[in-house]
A and B are shown apart, each in its own frame.
Chain A
Amino acid sequence: MTEAIPSTSAAPVELLDNTPVVEFKDVTITFDVKPVLQNISFCVERGQTLMILGPAGCGKSVLLKLANGLLGPDAGSIKIFGKEITTMPERDLYQLRAHIGMVFQESALFDSLNVEDNVAYRLHEERVSEDESHQRVVEALKFVELEQAIAKYPSELSGGMRRRVSIARAIISSPDLILYDSPTGGLDPITSTTIIELVMKQRDVSHTTSLVVTHRLQDAFVLATHRYDAAKGMVPIPKDGPDHGIDPGIKFLMLNEGSIVFHGTTQELVRSEDPWIKEYLS
Protein backbone atom coordinates (compact mmCIF):
# COMPACT_ATOMS: atom_id res chain seq x y z
CA MET A 1 0.00 0.00 0.00
CA THR A 2 1.44 3.38 -0.97
CA GLU A 3 1.06 6.16 1.56
CA ALA A 4 2.50 9.01 -0.46
CA ILE A 5 -0.02 11.21 -2.17
CA PRO A 6 1.21 12.99 -5.28
CA SER A 7 2.07 16.62 -4.78
CA THR A 8 -0.23 19.23 -6.22
CA SER A 9 0.76 21.49 -9.07
CA ALA A 10 -1.00 24.33 -7.23
CA ALA A 11 1.16 25.69 -4.41
CA PRO A 12 -0.28 25.05 -0.94
CA VAL A 13 -2.34 27.88 0.47
CA GLU A 14 -0.39 29.98 2.96
CA LEU A 15 -2.48 31.13 5.88
CA LEU A 16 -1.64 33.67 8.54
CA ASP A 17 -1.60 32.25 12.06
CA ASN A 18 -5.06 31.81 13.56
CA THR A 19 -6.80 32.33 10.22
CA PRO A 20 -9.47 29.62 9.96
CA VAL A 21 -9.51 27.49 6.80
CA VAL A 22 -13.31 27.79 6.68
CA GLU A 23 -15.29 30.61 8.26
CA PHE A 24 -19.06 31.02 7.96
CA LYS A 25 -20.64 34.16 9.43
CA ASP A 26 -24.44 34.60 9.59
CA VAL A 27 -24.94 32.66 6.36
CA THR A 28 -28.51 32.36 5.11
CA ILE A 29 -29.75 30.74 1.92
CA THR A 30 -33.32 30.39 0.72
CA PHE A 31 -34.66 28.19 -2.10
CA ASP A 32 -37.86 29.69 -3.53
CA VAL A 33 -39.51 30.85 -0.31
CA LYS A 34 -38.15 28.19 2.03
CA PRO A 35 -35.06 29.11 4.08
CA VAL A 36 -32.68 26.14 3.90
CA LEU A 37 -29.96 27.55 6.16
CA GLN A 38 -30.42 30.44 8.58
CA ASN A 39 -27.71 32.49 10.32
CA ILE A 40 -25.07 29.75 10.19
CA SER A 41 -21.77 30.73 11.84
CA PHE A 42 -18.79 28.48 12.53
CA CYS A 43 -15.04 28.17 11.92
CA VAL A 44 -12.80 25.25 11.01
CA GLU A 45 -9.12 25.56 11.89
CA ARG A 46 -6.26 24.06 9.88
CA GLY A 47 -5.98 20.28 10.33
CA GLN A 48 -9.40 20.03 11.98
CA THR A 49 -12.19 17.69 10.89
CA LEU A 50 -15.71 19.01 11.23
CA MET A 51 -18.42 16.33 11.30
CA ILE A 52 -21.71 17.78 10.07
CA LEU A 53 -24.69 15.82 11.37
CA GLY A 54 -28.41 16.23 11.06
CA PRO A 55 -31.58 14.66 9.71
CA ALA A 56 -32.21 14.39 5.95
CA GLY A 57 -33.10 17.69 4.30
CA CYS A 58 -31.65 19.91 7.03
CA GLY A 59 -29.19 21.61 4.65
CA LYS A 60 -25.97 19.61 5.18
CA SER A 61 -25.15 19.19 1.48
CA VAL A 62 -26.13 22.81 0.77
CA LEU A 63 -23.63 23.88 3.43
CA LEU A 64 -20.83 21.98 1.65
CA LYS A 65 -21.78 23.47 -1.71
CA LEU A 66 -21.68 26.94 -0.13
CA ALA A 67 -18.19 26.18 1.23
CA ASN A 68 -17.02 25.32 -2.29
CA GLY A 69 -18.73 28.32 -3.91
CA LEU A 70 -21.03 26.04 -5.94
CA LEU A 71 -23.94 27.95 -4.39
CA GLY A 72 -24.01 31.57 -3.27
CA PRO A 73 -25.68 32.61 0.01
CA ASP A 74 -28.48 35.18 0.16
CA ALA A 75 -26.83 36.82 3.17
CA GLY A 76 -23.71 36.46 5.28
CA SER A 77 -20.02 35.94 4.70
CA ILE A 78 -18.05 32.82 3.79
CA LYS A 79 -14.25 32.89 3.97
CA ILE A 80 -12.17 29.99 2.65
CA PHE A 81 -8.42 30.19 3.36
CA GLY A 82 -9.15 33.71 4.63
CA LYS A 83 -10.63 34.84 1.31
CA GLU A 84 -14.20 36.05 0.99
CA ILE A 85 -15.83 33.83 -1.64
CA THR A 86 -19.35 35.31 -1.72
CA THR A 87 -18.16 38.28 -3.78
CA MET A 88 -15.38 36.44 -5.62
CA PRO A 89 -15.69 36.30 -9.45
CA GLU A 90 -16.32 32.78 -10.84
CA ARG A 91 -12.92 32.79 -12.59
CA ASP A 92 -11.11 33.33 -9.26
CA LEU A 93 -13.29 30.67 -7.64
CA TYR A 94 -12.02 28.12 -10.18
CA GLN A 95 -8.46 28.91 -9.07
CA LEU A 96 -9.39 28.65 -5.40
CA ARG A 97 -11.04 25.26 -6.02
CA ALA A 98 -7.65 23.90 -7.08
CA HIS A 99 -6.98 23.74 -3.32
CA ILE A 100 -10.30 22.08 -2.45
CA GLY A 101 -11.25 18.45 -3.02
CA MET A 102 -14.86 17.35 -2.96
CA VAL A 103 -16.43 13.90 -2.70
CA PHE A 104 -20.04 14.00 -3.86
CA GLN A 105 -22.99 12.13 -2.38
CA GLU A 106 -23.49 9.90 -5.43
CA SER A 107 -19.80 10.03 -6.45
CA ALA A 108 -20.58 12.22 -9.52
CA LEU A 109 -18.02 10.44 -11.69
CA PHE A 110 -18.04 11.38 -15.38
CA ASP A 111 -19.87 8.50 -17.10
CA SER A 112 -18.10 8.94 -20.41
CA LEU A 113 -14.59 8.79 -18.93
CA ASN A 114 -12.80 5.75 -17.53
CA VAL A 115 -11.41 5.65 -14.00
CA GLU A 116 -7.99 6.95 -15.05
CA ASP A 117 -9.44 9.94 -16.89
CA ASN A 118 -11.88 10.64 -14.05
CA VAL A 119 -9.11 10.67 -11.45
CA ALA A 120 -6.75 12.61 -13.72
CA TYR A 121 -9.45 15.14 -14.73
CA ARG A 122 -7.92 18.00 -12.76
CA LEU A 123 -4.41 17.12 -13.96
CA HIS A 124 -5.56 17.14 -17.59
CA GLU A 125 -7.13 20.56 -17.03
CA GLU A 126 -3.81 21.75 -15.60
CA ARG A 127 -2.02 20.37 -18.71
CA VAL A 128 0.11 17.97 -16.66
CA SER A 129 2.10 15.62 -18.93
CA GLU A 130 0.58 12.19 -19.67
CA ASP A 131 3.41 10.30 -17.95
CA GLU A 132 3.27 12.31 -14.74
CA SER A 133 -0.52 12.24 -14.78
CA HIS A 134 -0.57 8.44 -15.15
CA GLN A 135 1.95 8.02 -12.33
CA ARG A 136 -0.08 10.23 -9.99
CA VAL A 137 -3.33 8.46 -10.89
CA VAL A 138 -1.76 5.10 -10.07
CA GLU A 139 -0.55 6.43 -6.72
CA ALA A 140 -3.95 7.92 -5.88
CA LEU A 141 -5.68 4.67 -6.86
CA LYS A 142 -3.23 2.70 -4.71
CA PHE A 143 -4.20 4.95 -1.80
CA VAL A 144 -7.83 3.89 -2.22
CA GLU A 145 -6.72 0.31 -3.06
CA LEU A 146 -8.32 0.33 -6.48
CA GLU A 147 -5.41 0.34 -8.91
CA GLN A 148 -6.80 -2.74 -10.70
CA ALA A 149 -9.83 -0.72 -11.86
CA ILE A 150 -7.84 1.96 -13.70
CA ALA A 151 -9.23 1.13 -17.15
CA LYS A 152 -12.84 0.51 -16.09
CA TYR A 153 -15.77 2.83 -16.68
CA PRO A 154 -17.98 4.07 -13.81
CA SER A 155 -20.87 1.88 -14.99
CA GLU A 156 -18.69 -1.21 -14.39
CA LEU A 157 -17.99 -0.27 -10.75
CA SER A 158 -19.95 -1.01 -7.57
CA GLY A 159 -21.24 1.83 -5.36
CA GLY A 160 -18.32 1.48 -2.95
CA MET A 161 -15.76 1.41 -5.75
CA ARG A 162 -17.28 4.53 -7.29
CA ARG A 163 -17.02 6.28 -3.93
CA ARG A 164 -13.34 5.25 -3.67
CA VAL A 165 -12.62 6.57 -7.17
CA SER A 166 -14.34 9.78 -6.14
CA ILE A 167 -12.02 10.03 -3.12
CA ALA A 168 -8.99 9.38 -5.37
CA ARG A 169 -10.17 12.16 -7.70
CA ALA A 170 -10.56 14.54 -4.75
CA ILE A 171 -7.11 13.87 -3.25
CA ILE A 172 -5.02 13.65 -6.42
CA SER A 173 -3.92 17.27 -6.17
CA SER A 174 -3.28 17.09 -2.39
CA PRO A 175 -5.91 19.69 -1.55
CA ASP A 176 -5.71 21.84 1.57
CA LEU A 177 -9.39 21.25 2.29
CA ILE A 178 -11.57 18.21 1.54
CA LEU A 179 -15.35 18.26 1.56
CA TYR A 180 -17.03 14.85 1.94
CA ASP A 181 -20.76 14.83 1.17
CA SER A 182 -22.20 11.68 2.78
CA PRO A 183 -19.27 9.48 1.71
CA THR A 184 -20.96 6.36 3.12
CA GLY A 185 -24.53 7.17 2.06
CA GLY A 186 -26.33 4.20 0.50
CA LEU A 187 -23.46 1.75 1.15
CA ASP A 188 -23.51 -1.50 3.11
CA PRO A 189 -21.82 -1.48 6.57
CA ILE A 190 -18.64 -3.27 5.42
CA THR A 191 -18.10 -0.92 2.45
CA SER A 192 -18.94 2.05 4.69
CA THR A 193 -16.15 1.00 7.07
CA THR A 194 -13.71 0.85 4.14
CA ILE A 195 -14.69 4.36 3.09
CA ILE A 196 -14.43 5.72 6.64
CA GLU A 197 -10.99 4.13 6.92
CA LEU A 198 -9.97 6.01 3.76
CA VAL A 199 -11.30 9.30 5.16
CA MET A 200 -9.36 8.58 8.37
CA LYS A 201 -6.23 7.63 6.42
CA GLN A 202 -6.35 10.89 4.48
CA ARG A 203 -6.90 12.81 7.74
CA ASP A 204 -4.05 11.12 9.64
CA VAL A 205 -1.53 10.78 6.79
CA SER A 206 -1.95 14.15 5.10
CA HIS A 207 -3.55 16.09 8.02
CA THR A 208 -5.94 17.71 5.57
CA THR A 209 -8.67 19.97 6.93
CA SER A 210 -12.00 18.26 6.26
CA LEU A 211 -15.72 18.83 6.42
CA VAL A 212 -17.56 15.51 6.58
CA VAL A 213 -21.31 15.44 6.09
CA THR A 214 -22.96 12.29 7.34
CA HIS A 215 -26.26 11.08 8.70
CA ARG A 216 -24.66 7.93 10.12
CA LEU A 217 -23.70 8.56 13.74
CA GLN A 218 -21.53 5.44 13.91
CA ASP A 219 -19.29 6.80 11.10
CA ALA A 220 -18.85 10.07 12.96
CA PHE A 221 -17.94 8.34 16.21
CA VAL A 222 -15.59 5.88 14.52
CA LEU A 223 -13.73 8.87 13.04
CA ALA A 224 -13.66 10.54 16.47
CA THR A 225 -12.39 7.49 18.39
CA HIS A 226 -10.01 5.82 15.93
CA ARG A 227 -6.73 6.62 14.22
CA TYR A 228 -5.14 5.24 11.09
CA ASP A 229 -2.07 3.10 11.61
CA ALA A 230 0.04 2.26 8.55
CA ALA A 231 0.63 -1.31 9.76
CA LYS A 232 -2.67 -2.20 11.41
CA GLY A 233 -5.14 0.04 9.59
CA MET A 234 -7.91 1.52 11.72
CA VAL A 235 -7.09 1.31 15.46
CA PRO A 236 -8.91 2.74 18.51
CA ILE A 237 -7.27 5.71 20.20
CA PRO A 238 -6.08 4.45 23.64
CA LYS A 239 -8.42 5.58 26.42
CA ASP A 240 -5.54 5.83 28.87
CA GLY A 241 -3.51 8.01 26.48
CA PRO A 242 -3.22 11.81 26.47
CA ASP A 243 -6.33 12.17 24.26
CA HIS A 244 -8.52 9.89 26.44
CA GLY A 245 -9.66 7.84 23.47
CA ILE A 246 -10.92 10.79 21.42
CA ASP A 247 -9.29 12.64 18.51
CA PRO A 248 -8.97 16.26 19.67
CA GLY A 249 -9.01 17.49 16.07
CA ILE A 250 -12.63 16.41 15.52
CA LYS A 251 -15.50 18.81 16.08
CA PHE A 252 -19.21 18.30 15.55
CA LEU A 253 -21.78 20.59 13.98
CA MET A 254 -25.41 19.52 14.22
CA LEU A 255 -28.08 21.06 12.05
CA ASN A 256 -31.82 20.88 12.36
CA GLU A 257 -34.32 22.71 10.16
CA GLY A 258 -31.62 24.96 8.75
CA SER A 259 -30.16 26.12 12.07
CA ILE A 260 -27.20 25.05 14.18
CA VAL A 261 -28.31 23.13 17.26
CA PHE A 262 -24.83 22.12 18.39
CA HIS A 263 -21.22 23.04 17.67
CA GLY A 264 -18.48 21.61 19.83
CA THR A 265 -16.21 18.70 20.71
CA THR A 266 -17.06 15.00 20.93
CA GLN A 267 -17.22 15.09 24.75
CA GLU A 268 -19.49 18.16 24.72
CA LEU A 269 -21.78 16.39 22.25
CA VAL A 270 -22.16 13.17 24.22
CA ARG A 271 -22.66 15.12 27.46
CA SER A 272 -25.21 17.49 25.96
CA GLU A 273 -28.48 17.76 27.89
CA ASP A 274 -30.41 19.16 24.92
CA PRO A 275 -33.45 16.87 24.51
CA TRP A 276 -33.35 16.98 20.68
CA ILE A 277 -29.65 16.05 20.62
CA LYS A 278 -30.19 13.28 23.15
CA GLU A 279 -33.00 11.86 21.07
CA TYR A 280 -30.91 12.12 17.88
CA LEU A 281 -27.97 10.36 19.52
CA SER A 282 -30.07 7.62 21.10
Chain B
Amino acid sequence: MPLYSPEVYIKKNVAALQEYSILSGRAIADIFSPPRYWADIFTQMDSIGVGSMPIIILTGFFTGCVLALQSVTALQQFGAVSKTGSLVSLSMIKELGPVLTGLMVSGRNAAGMASEIGSMKVTEQLDAMRALGTDPIRKLVTPRLIATVFMLFFLTIISDAVGIAGGAMVSVALLGLNASSYLHTSYQSLIYGDVVQGLTKPIFSGFIIATVGCYCGMKTTGGTQGVGRATTQAVVVSSVLIIVVDFLVTRVMIGIFGS
Protein backbone atom coordinates (compact mmCIF):
# COMPACT_ATOMS: atom_id res chain seq x y z
CA MET B 1 0.00 0.00 0.00
CA PRO B 2 1.51 3.38 -1.01
CA LEU B 3 2.28 5.88 1.73
CA TYR B 4 0.85 9.37 1.33
CA SER B 5 1.67 12.59 3.14
CA PRO B 6 -1.19 13.70 5.48
CA GLU B 7 -1.98 16.58 3.11
CA VAL B 8 -2.33 14.32 0.05
CA TYR B 9 -4.34 11.80 2.09
CA ILE B 10 -6.81 14.43 3.31
CA LYS B 11 -7.15 16.01 -0.15
CA LYS B 12 -7.76 12.61 -1.70
CA ASN B 13 -10.49 11.74 0.77
CA VAL B 14 -12.16 15.14 0.60
CA ALA B 15 -12.18 14.84 -3.22
CA ALA B 16 -13.70 11.34 -2.94
CA LEU B 17 -16.40 12.65 -0.58
CA GLN B 18 -17.12 15.48 -3.01
CA GLU B 19 -17.39 13.07 -5.96
CA TYR B 20 -19.64 10.75 -3.94
CA SER B 21 -21.90 13.68 -2.98
CA ILE B 22 -22.13 14.87 -6.60
CA LEU B 23 -22.94 11.34 -7.81
CA SER B 24 -25.63 10.90 -5.13
CA GLY B 25 -27.10 14.35 -5.83
CA ARG B 26 -27.28 13.70 -9.57
CA ALA B 27 -28.78 10.24 -9.03
CA ILE B 28 -31.55 11.82 -6.91
CA ALA B 29 -32.08 14.73 -9.32
CA ASP B 30 -32.44 12.30 -12.25
CA ILE B 31 -35.49 10.74 -10.56
CA PHE B 32 -37.42 13.94 -11.23
CA SER B 33 -36.62 14.42 -14.92
CA PRO B 34 -37.01 12.27 -18.06
CA PRO B 35 -35.83 9.99 -19.56
CA ARG B 36 -36.57 7.35 -16.94
CA TYR B 37 -35.44 3.77 -17.46
CA TRP B 38 -38.44 1.87 -16.14
CA ALA B 39 -37.29 -1.47 -17.55
CA ASP B 40 -33.97 -1.12 -15.70
CA ILE B 41 -35.80 -0.11 -12.51
CA PHE B 42 -38.00 -3.23 -12.61
CA THR B 43 -35.04 -5.48 -13.50
CA GLN B 44 -33.12 -4.12 -10.53
CA MET B 45 -36.15 -4.50 -8.25
CA ASP B 46 -36.33 -8.14 -9.27
CA SER B 47 -32.61 -8.68 -8.79
CA ILE B 48 -32.28 -6.77 -5.52
CA GLY B 49 -35.68 -7.45 -3.98
CA VAL B 50 -36.81 -10.87 -5.14
CA GLY B 51 -33.23 -12.13 -5.44
CA SER B 52 -32.46 -11.21 -1.82
CA MET B 53 -35.60 -12.84 -0.38
CA PRO B 54 -34.05 -16.23 0.49
CA ILE B 55 -31.15 -14.75 2.49
CA ILE B 56 -33.42 -12.21 4.18
CA ILE B 57 -35.95 -14.87 5.20
CA LEU B 58 -33.26 -17.22 6.51
CA THR B 59 -31.38 -14.48 8.39
CA GLY B 60 -34.53 -12.95 9.84
CA PHE B 61 -36.00 -16.30 10.87
CA PHE B 62 -32.93 -17.61 12.68
CA THR B 63 -32.23 -14.22 14.28
CA GLY B 64 -35.74 -14.35 15.77
CA CYS B 65 -35.13 -17.93 16.90
CA VAL B 66 -31.83 -17.17 18.62
CA LEU B 67 -33.21 -13.98 20.14
CA ALA B 68 -36.03 -15.93 21.77
CA LEU B 69 -33.60 -18.57 23.09
CA GLN B 70 -31.20 -16.01 24.53
CA SER B 71 -33.83 -13.71 26.02
CA VAL B 72 -35.67 -16.51 27.82
CA THR B 73 -32.53 -17.29 29.85
CA ALA B 74 -32.28 -13.69 31.02
CA LEU B 75 -36.01 -13.16 31.52
CA GLN B 76 -36.33 -16.31 33.67
CA GLN B 77 -34.20 -14.64 36.37
CA PHE B 78 -36.86 -11.94 36.74
CA GLY B 79 -39.83 -14.23 36.30
CA ALA B 80 -40.75 -12.41 33.11
CA VAL B 81 -40.66 -15.25 30.55
CA SER B 82 -44.03 -14.12 29.26
CA LYS B 83 -42.34 -10.96 27.97
CA THR B 84 -40.30 -12.96 25.42
CA GLY B 85 -42.61 -11.99 22.57
CA SER B 86 -42.33 -8.33 23.50
CA LEU B 87 -38.52 -8.47 23.57
CA VAL B 88 -38.24 -10.33 20.27
CA SER B 89 -40.66 -8.08 18.40
CA LEU B 90 -39.15 -4.83 19.74
CA SER B 91 -35.61 -5.98 18.95
CA MET B 92 -36.54 -7.22 15.49
CA ILE B 93 -38.63 -4.25 14.43
CA LYS B 94 -36.55 -1.44 15.90
CA GLU B 95 -33.05 -2.75 15.37
CA LEU B 96 -32.17 -6.21 14.14
CA GLY B 97 -34.60 -6.41 11.24
CA PRO B 98 -33.51 -3.16 9.56
CA VAL B 99 -29.79 -3.50 10.35
CA LEU B 100 -29.38 -7.17 9.46
CA THR B 101 -31.42 -6.77 6.28
CA GLY B 102 -29.29 -3.75 5.35
CA LEU B 103 -26.06 -5.64 6.02
CA MET B 104 -27.17 -8.74 4.12
CA VAL B 105 -28.37 -6.74 1.11
CA SER B 106 -25.17 -4.69 1.28
CA GLY B 107 -23.06 -7.86 1.14
CA ARG B 108 -25.06 -9.17 -1.79
CA ASN B 109 -25.99 -6.10 -3.81
CA ALA B 110 -23.42 -3.36 -3.04
CA ALA B 111 -20.81 -5.94 -4.07
CA GLY B 112 -22.83 -6.84 -7.16
CA MET B 113 -23.26 -3.21 -8.21
CA ALA B 114 -19.58 -2.38 -7.67
CA SER B 115 -18.37 -5.41 -9.62
CA GLU B 116 -20.87 -4.98 -12.48
CA ILE B 117 -20.30 -1.26 -12.95
CA GLY B 118 -16.57 -1.66 -12.22
CA SER B 119 -16.25 -4.24 -15.01
CA MET B 120 -18.06 -1.88 -17.35
CA LYS B 121 -15.69 0.91 -16.34
CA VAL B 122 -12.46 -1.03 -16.97
CA THR B 123 -13.73 -2.30 -20.35
CA GLU B 124 -14.68 1.25 -21.44
CA GLN B 125 -18.39 0.35 -21.56
CA LEU B 126 -19.23 3.42 -19.44
CA ASP B 127 -17.36 5.64 -21.91
CA ALA B 128 -19.14 3.86 -24.78
CA MET B 129 -22.46 4.56 -23.07
CA ARG B 130 -21.62 8.26 -22.80
CA ALA B 131 -20.36 8.29 -26.39
CA LEU B 132 -23.71 6.82 -27.47
CA GLY B 133 -25.53 9.68 -25.76
CA THR B 134 -26.62 7.97 -22.53
CA ASP B 135 -25.87 9.34 -19.08
CA PRO B 136 -24.50 6.37 -17.05
CA ILE B 137 -25.76 7.91 -13.80
CA ARG B 138 -29.30 8.11 -15.16
CA LYS B 139 -29.12 4.66 -16.75
CA LEU B 140 -27.21 2.71 -14.09
CA VAL B 141 -27.24 4.55 -10.74
CA THR B 142 -30.75 6.02 -10.53
CA PRO B 143 -32.58 2.71 -11.28
CA ARG B 144 -30.44 0.94 -8.66
CA LEU B 145 -31.10 3.69 -6.13
CA ILE B 146 -34.88 3.61 -6.63
CA ALA B 147 -34.97 -0.22 -6.63
CA THR B 148 -32.80 -0.62 -3.51
CA VAL B 149 -34.64 1.98 -1.40
CA PHE B 150 -38.06 0.65 -2.47
CA MET B 151 -37.27 -3.06 -2.09
CA LEU B 152 -35.23 -2.78 1.12
CA PHE B 153 -38.27 -1.24 2.80
CA PHE B 154 -40.36 -4.34 2.03
CA LEU B 155 -37.50 -6.77 2.66
CA THR B 156 -37.21 -5.29 6.16
CA ILE B 157 -40.92 -5.86 6.79
CA ILE B 158 -40.52 -9.49 5.66
CA SER B 159 -37.45 -9.90 7.85
CA ASP B 160 -39.32 -8.48 10.86
CA ALA B 161 -42.29 -10.79 10.26
CA VAL B 162 -40.27 -13.99 9.84
CA GLY B 163 -38.07 -13.01 12.81
CA ILE B 164 -41.12 -12.73 15.05
CA ALA B 165 -42.42 -16.00 13.59
CA GLY B 166 -39.06 -17.68 14.31
CA GLY B 167 -39.16 -16.38 17.88
CA ALA B 168 -42.70 -17.72 18.21
CA MET B 169 -41.69 -21.13 16.92
CA VAL B 170 -38.82 -21.44 19.42
CA SER B 171 -40.89 -20.04 22.29
CA VAL B 172 -43.78 -22.44 21.67
CA ALA B 173 -42.01 -25.55 20.42
CA LEU B 174 -38.82 -25.52 22.52
CA LEU B 175 -39.59 -23.37 25.54
CA GLY B 176 -43.23 -24.35 26.01
CA LEU B 177 -44.63 -20.80 26.06
CA ASN B 178 -48.21 -20.03 25.15
CA ALA B 179 -48.52 -19.01 21.48
CA SER B 180 -51.38 -16.61 22.10
CA SER B 181 -49.53 -14.91 24.94
CA TYR B 182 -46.36 -14.60 22.80
CA LEU B 183 -48.18 -12.98 19.90
CA HIS B 184 -50.29 -10.78 22.21
CA THR B 185 -47.26 -9.36 24.05
CA SER B 186 -45.44 -8.95 20.73
CA TYR B 187 -48.27 -6.83 19.38
CA GLN B 188 -49.12 -4.96 22.58
CA SER B 189 -45.59 -3.75 23.30
CA LEU B 190 -45.19 -2.03 19.91
CA ILE B 191 -46.01 1.64 19.62
CA TYR B 192 -46.24 3.88 16.56
CA GLY B 193 -42.73 5.30 17.07
CA ASP B 194 -41.15 1.82 17.04
CA VAL B 195 -42.66 0.99 13.67
CA VAL B 196 -41.70 4.38 12.20
CA GLN B 197 -38.15 3.93 13.50
CA GLY B 198 -37.89 0.43 12.02
CA LEU B 199 -39.21 1.53 8.64
CA THR B 200 -37.15 4.73 8.39
CA LYS B 201 -33.83 2.93 8.71
CA PRO B 202 -34.10 0.85 5.49
CA ILE B 203 -34.65 4.03 3.49
CA PHE B 204 -31.24 5.30 4.63
CA SER B 205 -29.62 1.85 4.29
CA GLY B 206 -30.99 1.45 0.75
CA PHE B 207 -29.61 4.84 -0.21
CA ILE B 208 -26.19 3.93 1.23
CA ILE B 209 -26.06 0.51 -0.47
CA ALA B 210 -26.96 1.85 -3.92
CA THR B 211 -24.85 5.01 -3.90
CA VAL B 212 -21.75 3.45 -2.32
CA GLY B 213 -21.95 0.35 -4.55
CA CYS B 214 -22.33 2.45 -7.71
CA TYR B 215 -19.72 5.02 -6.65
CA CYS B 216 -17.10 2.33 -5.97
CA GLY B 217 -17.93 0.73 -9.34
CA MET B 218 -17.68 3.99 -11.26
CA LYS B 219 -14.34 4.88 -9.70
CA THR B 220 -12.77 1.50 -10.49
CA THR B 221 -9.29 1.61 -11.98
CA GLY B 222 -6.65 -1.05 -12.53
CA GLY B 223 -8.32 -3.86 -14.47
CA THR B 224 -9.75 -7.00 -12.91
CA GLN B 225 -7.73 -6.50 -9.71
CA GLY B 226 -9.32 -3.06 -9.43
CA VAL B 227 -12.79 -4.60 -9.78
CA GLY B 228 -12.03 -6.91 -6.83
CA ARG B 229 -10.77 -3.96 -4.79
CA ALA B 230 -13.86 -1.88 -5.61
CA THR B 231 -16.15 -4.75 -4.62
CA THR B 232 -14.47 -5.21 -1.23
CA GLN B 233 -14.46 -1.46 -0.63
CA ALA B 234 -18.17 -1.18 -1.48
CA VAL B 235 -19.14 -3.87 1.06
CA VAL B 236 -16.89 -2.52 3.81
CA VAL B 237 -17.86 1.14 3.40
CA SER B 238 -21.59 0.49 3.00
CA SER B 239 -21.70 -1.91 5.99
CA VAL B 240 -19.91 0.54 8.28
CA LEU B 241 -22.06 3.44 7.08
CA ILE B 242 -25.26 1.44 7.65
CA ILE B 243 -24.32 0.86 11.30
CA VAL B 244 -23.21 4.47 11.85
CA VAL B 245 -26.36 5.86 10.22
CA ASP B 246 -28.44 3.36 12.22
CA PHE B 247 -27.08 4.90 15.42
CA LEU B 248 -27.78 8.44 14.19
CA VAL B 249 -31.32 7.62 13.05
CA THR B 250 -32.03 5.85 16.36
CA ARG B 251 -30.87 8.94 18.26
CA VAL B 252 -33.03 11.25 16.15
CA MET B 253 -36.06 8.94 16.49
CA ILE B 254 -35.66 8.75 20.26
CA GLY B 255 -35.52 12.56 20.22
CA ILE B 256 -38.77 12.70 18.22
CA PHE B 257 -40.82 9.85 19.73
CA GLY B 258 -39.20 9.47 23.17
CA SER B 259 -38.04 6.03 24.42
Contacts and interface: CB of A to CB of B under 8 A. Distances in A.
Contacts of A125: 35, 132-134
Contacts of A97: 130-133
25 contacts: A65-B127, A68-B131, A70-B131, A94-B130, A94-B133, A94-B134, A94-B135, A95-B133, A97-B130, A98-B133, A102-B128, A104-B124, A104-B131, A106-B123, A106-B124, A108-B125, A108-B127, A108-B128, A110-B128, A111-B125, A122-B133, A125-B35, A125-B133, A125-B134, A169-B132
A274 to B, nearest CB: 33
Interface residues of B, number: 15
Nearest to B139: A125
Interface of A: 65, 68, 70, 90, 94-95, 97-98, 100, 102, 104-106, 108-111, 121-122, 125, 169
Contacts, number: 49
**Closest 9 A-B residue pairs measured CB to CB?**
A108-B128, A108-B124, A102-B131, A94-B133, A97-B133, A104-B124, A122-B132, A70-B127, A108-B125
Interface in B127-156: 127-135
B123 to A, nearest CB: 6
A106 B120 CA distance: 12
A34 to B, nearest CB: 15
A192 B114 CA distance: 35
B127 A121 contact: no
A94 B136 CA distance: 11
A95 B131 CA distance: 10
B120 to A, nearest CB: 8
A108 B123 contact: yes
Contacts of A122: 132-133
A206 to B, nearest CB: 19
Contacts of B128: 102, 104, 108-110
